[in-house]
Structure 1
């Protein structure tokens, strides 16, 4: 079960006042999925699903990281981004 600190970081990231670039969003997505689900458990999306492939690849790049480590990294990354996006 995700920690209260993780849930707070997720809420904060969802409420950024300006939109981070795609690379930042993909890193947040990959860490979030790794923290909440664990290693990728779905096949890679099809050739024409570009957005789905980018998201899947971001998640796959976190493979092997424990859910606790991904959660801690997500919290730290959001804290690092706060000054630039609030």
Structure 2
């Protein structure tokens, strides 16, 4: 477990230094997996229609609802690794 958390923390640091900025859909996936790994399932109400960014983030996080923290961490690590190449 600690090893996965260490890898996750390293991937979070790496995500800030990617060679290219990922497209918006990839950024939403990164955000959703990070939130799921660190906070668990999304809660609260979906943002209103006027908050397009907040709504997109909420929807992305909601799409990974039910994943365990470990699953989300591993997917996050794998995604960041794939973007580093």
Q: TM-score, normalised by structure 1?
A: 0.90
Question: Is 2:17 aligned against 1:23?
Answer: no
In 1, Cα distance between equivalents of 2:49 and 2:41: 22
1:38 deviation in Å?
Answer: 0.5
Indicate conservation of the 8 Å contact 2:8/2:76, yes or no.
yes
Partner of 2:50: 48
Q: Structure 2 regions of 5+ residues with no counterpart?
A: none
Stretches of structure 1 that go unaligned for 5 or more consecutive residues are none
Please, what TM-score do these two structures have when normalized by structure 2?
Answer: 0.91
Residue matched to 1:60: 62
Question: Number of matched residues?
Answer: 83
**Runs ≥4 residues deviating over 6 A:** none
Structure 1 vs Structure 2 CA RMSD: 1.4
Give the match for residue 7 of structure 2.
Answer: 5
